[in-house]
């Protein structure tokens, strides 16, 4: 079975009558970002899609958040991420990964306190849902170390870097790029 691309799923869903109504507002058009958010709300609310469609739709909207971040549209990126986080309340790991993506936007904005706060939220989820030596835990700790380093808190940075390194040393081969 060939897994359809996010574009193929998005295109297919736009052909459905219920979805077509989402693509128009009083002025005739709405942005792709707004349409995707409305689409996701419909998918989660009405359960019209299979889990694969939901997963691909979430990944697509995360991609739009990343593109907005790269283009410097930080407020739009945060808006997109926060909307999807609200929709993924029943999937803790997905929520944590989205929250982690939000922290990257806060760091770009130099909102380091928000970055730490959201990394901590993601880390708390990872620690309750994953083994303590999981790569997501290590990457989150490492990113928190980066923020502490940028904000001139060397003791906290070192603590987080050491925790991440400990996980990496226990789980990764010695020739891995993080070693």
Q: What is the pLDDT of residues 143-172, one digit of tens each?
A: 999 999 999 999 999 999 999 999 988 887
User: Would you say how long the chain is, in residues?
Assistant: 179
| Token reading at 109 | 């904005």
pLDDT band with cut points at 50, 70 and 90 for residue 86: confident
In this prediction, residue 97 carries a pLDDT of: 85
Q: What angle do CA 153, 157, 162 make, to 5 degrees?
A: 155
In this prediction, residue 65 carries a pLDDT of: 75
CB 42 within 8 A of CB 22: yes
Residues 82, 48, single domain; the answer is yes
Query: How far is residue 30's CA from residue 52's CA, in Å, rounded to a whole number?
Result: 26
- CA nearest 31: which of 89, 85, 97, 79? 79
Average pLDDT over the chain reads: 75
Q: Kindly report, residue by residue over 29-84, the tens digit of the pLDDT.
A: 345 556 666 666 655 555 545 555 556 666 666 777 777 777 888 888 888 778 77
Q: Is the pLDDT of residue 89 over 70?
A: no
In this prediction, residue 53 carries a pLDDT of: 58
- Measured CA to CA in angstroms, residue 176 lies from 48, 137, 138, 143 at distances of 42, 17, 14, 18
Q: Is the pLDDT of residue 18 over 50?
A: no
- Please say whether the dihedral angle defined by the alpha carbons of residues 22, 28, 30 and 32, taken in this order, is positive or negative: positive
Q: Kindly report, residue by residue over 106-143, the tens digit of the pLDDT.
A: 998 999 999 999 999 999 999 999 998 998 999 999 99
pLDDT band with cut points at 50, 70 and 90 for residue 20: very low
Residues 81, 122, single domain; the answer is no
In this prediction, residue 177 carries a pLDDT of: 72
Residues 76, 157, single domain; the answer is no
pLDDT band with cut points at 50, 70 and 90 for residue 23: very low
Full domain range(s) for residue 86: 1-90
Total structural domains within the chain? 2
Contacts of 161 (CB under 8 A, 6+ apart): 141, 142, 145
Does residue 143 sit within a domain?
yes
In this prediction, residue 42 carries a pLDDT of: 59
CB 65 within 8 A of CB 80: yes
Residues 129, 75, single domain; the answer is no
- Measured CA to CA in angstroms, residue 36 lies from 59, 84, 87, 127, 167 at distances of 11, 10, 12, 31, 37
Residues 1, 76, single domain; the answer is yes
Does residue 106 sit within a domain?
no
């Amino acid at each position: 079975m060939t897994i359809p691309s996010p574009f193929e799923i998005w295109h297919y869903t736009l052909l459905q009558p219920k979805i077509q109504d989402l693509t128009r507002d009083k002025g005739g058009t709405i942005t792709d970002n707004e349409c995707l958010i409305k689409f996701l709300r419909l998918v989660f609310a009405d359960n019209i899609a299979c889990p694969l469609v939901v997963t691909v739709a979430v990944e697509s909207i995360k991609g739009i958040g990343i593109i907005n971040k790269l283009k410097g549209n930080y407020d739009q990126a945060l808006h997109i991420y926060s909307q999807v986080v609200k929709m993924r309340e029943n999937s803790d790991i997905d929520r944590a990964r989205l929250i982690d993506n939000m922290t990257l936007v806060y760091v770009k904005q130099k909102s380091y306190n928000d970055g730490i706060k959201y990394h901590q939220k993601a880390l708390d989820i990872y620690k309750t849902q994953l083994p303590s030596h999981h790569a997501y835990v290590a990457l989150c700790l490492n990113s928190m170390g980066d923020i502490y380093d940028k904000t001139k808190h060397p003791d906290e940075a070192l603590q987080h870097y050491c925790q991440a390194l400990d996980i990496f040393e226990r789980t990764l081969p010695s020739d891995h790029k993080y070693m």
